[in-house]
Amino acid sequence: SQTIHQWPATLVQPVGSPLSLECTVEGTSNPNLYWYRQAAGRGLQLLFYSVGIGQISSEVPQNLSASRPQDRQFILSSKKLLLSDSGFYLCAWDPRLGETQYFGPGTRLLVL
C-alpha cells in the first residue's frame, strides 16, 4: 500500500531564516505531487505541483520554491522566511490529474 510522509511535524523558525520541508511517497511510482498551504481558519491553497522529476509548476507567486530531485521526493524551500509564511503545509499525491489525492500528516510552521 502507498504511504506519504512529511517532516518535520512542527517547526518554529525566525523571520529571515531558510526553510526546507520534505515529503516522500512510498509504494507507487511516477506520482503527481502537490504542496498546499493552509492558513488558520482557511481553505487549502495550492502552492506547487509536479508531474515528474524536475518538473515544477507554481500556482501563486511567493518567496517559496519547490524541487523534485527524485521520483517520490518533493521538497518545499525558502531562502528567507516571512511572517506570512506561517501555516499548515500539506503534501499530497495522486496517480493522475483529477483523481483522488492522498494527503500527508502536514507540517505546522510558525514564523516568529
Partner 1 sequence: DAKTTQPNSMESNEEEPVHLPCNHSTISGTDYIHWYRQLPSQGPEYVIHGLTSNVNNRMASLAIAEDRKSSTLILHRATLRDAAVYYCILGGATNKLIFGTGTLLAVQP
What residues line the site for partner 1 (CB under 8 A)? 34, 36, 42-44, 46, 49, 88, 90, 92, 94, 96-106, 108
Least Cβ distance, residue 73 to partner 1 (angstroms): 18
**What's the closest the beta carbon of residue 49 comes to partner 1, in angstroms?**
6
> Residues 39, 52, 59, 35: what is their CA dihedral angle, to the nearest 10 degrees?
0
Cα 90 from Cα 95, distance rounded (Å):
17
In sequence order, the β-bridge partners of residue 93 are 33, 102
Shortest Cβ 70–partner 1 spacing (Å): 22
Could you give the CA distance from residue 29 to residue 2 in angstroms, rounded to a whole number?
10
Considering beta carbons, is residue 43 or 61 the nearer one to partner 1? Answer: 43
Residue 24 CA to residue 33 CA, distance in Å, equals 9
